[in-house]
Amino acid sequence: MGDTQRPMLVLKTGEAAIDLLNPTPGQVNVDDMLHNLSRIPRWCGAGKLSVLQHLMLVSLSLHGAGESRVTVLAGLTHDLHEYATGDIPAPLLTGLMYDDGVALHRVTDMQRHIQVAIQARLGIDLTGADMYAVQRADEQARQWDTADLYTIDLLELSTSARAIALDTADQVIAKYRRGLKQLGVEI
């Protein structure tokens, strides 16, 4: 099926709409994005954290490890596309792969296109150079996501990270906005 024959998918969030197959920076509503991410649970609802809390924890981990501003920003923004697609855990993405991998590629291409539109909307240009550090921090955040946040080893989770994990959605949104601003991203 060619591009002209496939249906156009449009996600309506509040007053904004984003074309999931052909997203543009102008379609990205930052308020709706942060609202959605603060309420989308990780791991298809099995995790204890929202996607926005996860992004904050990844960036805190990178900052604590002394990573560059660009790497911390990559950690803070690496899953923003999930405001439109939801959190699709890696095992589920793997399960979507057909013999030829077409289904997986369609999903990951859609995620990538949405991520590119968001980054353009926010005025940030990230490359793959810092993604290894982000992947390591992402693994650490996954461990935090499945832990009991009240009893986890204090050496593993800083006071700031614990606060983010226990914050309300509105508190996390406010902290996320401040984090972007501190990294030079105006929204």
- Residue-wise pLDDT tens digits, 130-157: 788 898 899 888 877 766 555 555 445 5
Q: Would you place residue 103 in the very low, low, confident or very high pLDDT band (cuts 50, 70, 90)?
A: low
51: left (phi over 0), alpha (psi -120 to 50) or beta: alpha
Give the fold, CATH level 3, of 10-182. Hypothetical protein af1432 (1.10.3210)
How far are the Cα atoms of 24, 65, 130, 163 from residue 145, in angstroms, in the given order? 31, 19, 22, 13
The 10s digit of each residue's pLDDT in 52-77 is 999 999 999 899 889 999 999 999 99
Q: Where are the domains of the chain?
A: 10-182
Q: What is the pTM of this model?
A: 0.84
Q: What is the residue-averaged pLDDT of the chain?
A: 81
